[in-house]
Structure 1
Amino acid sequence: MAIVLLAVADAKYCFHITVVCSYGKSSDGGALVNSPFSNALRSGTFSPPEDTLLSGADHLEPHPHVFMADRAFPLRRNLMRPFPGTTFHSRHRVFNYRLSRARLTVENAFGIFEAQW
């Protein structure tokens, strides 16, 4: 039996949301779809912070707060994932690299958590 552990962590490696699933062969994306967190996102009962202006941005449109995920997750307004495929524009490659670097925060938070045990 596989156990899938999903989490939302901030830049200070603190967990804010955790989802523990044991769906056997379920993928990370499948575990998210079946979680209370995903249901709250879809139904609107989970309210992330309001859209805000990005400091240093050239335009003055507010942007939503987003969760960063890997390719296993669906693309949504509040869920960023990498561009699919291997051949794409250099801007997409840079985006995927920076998204990967940002996702390392939660990977490192798991490493810190694991080191405690």
Structure 2
Amino acid sequence: MLGQHSIVLMTICDADYCFTLIDIGASGRQSDGGIFKSSIMGEMLEEKILLLPQRSALNNVGPTLPYVFVGEEAFQLSTYMLRPFPRSRGNLTREKCVFDYRLSRARRVIENVFDILVAKWCILGKQSMHR
């Protein structure tokens, strides 16, 4: 809307619905991927100075795997960021569709965290009435 400004709240949470990193203050006019890349947490990840857990196995017999973040299509694929396959190509194989579906299920955690936050603090779910 004309005359309104937005501030981006970018967060990372764990599988237990707990925020682990928060970045507030970027202008809403920027893309999510660009905001993340220029944020302190994005820069620390790029410079490999953000302390992430060591690789570990999902079960006792599986291979060790790195910890990664799950993002949406706006984020750049990297060694620490998984994202869905680009939809613009339109020719996703069954395997890629299954991957995207499972990645989407993992992303629901962060979406649920915001739903919980808004339910707890109702004011966060309302647009400001000031003009």
Q: Could you say what secondary structure the match of 1:92 adopts?
A: helix
Residues 12-48 of structure 1 show CA distances to partners (whole Å, capped at 9, x for unaligned) of 2111111113324101111101100011101111021
1:78 aligned partner: 80
Q: Could you say what secondary structure the match of 1:22 adopts?
A: strand
Where has structure 1 moved over 6 Å in runs of 4 or more? Answer: none
Structure 2 unmatched runs, 5+? 122-131
Query: How many residue pairs get matched?
Result: 115
Counterpart AA for 2:13? A
2: CA distance between counterparts of 1:83 and 1:102?
A: 15
2: CA distance between counterparts of 1:72 and 1:56?
A: 34
Identity among equivalent pairs (%): 37
TM-score (norm 1): 0.90
What is the CA RMSD across the aligned residues, in angstroms? Answer: 1.5
Bigger CA radius of gyration: 2
Structure 1 unmatched runs, 5+? none
Does residue 6 of structure 1 match 2:32?
no
1: CA distance between counterparts of 2:35 and 2:23?
A: 8
2: CA distance between counterparts of 1:24 and 1:93?
A: 30
Q: Could you say what secondary structure the match of 1:55 adopts?
A: coil
1:26 aligned partner: 30
Does residue 38 of structure 1 match 2:12?
no
1:63 aligned partner: 65
Counterpart AA for 2:74? A
1:90 aligned partner: 94
1:113 aligned partner: 117
- State the structure with bigger RCO (CA 8 A, min sep 6), 1 or 2: 1
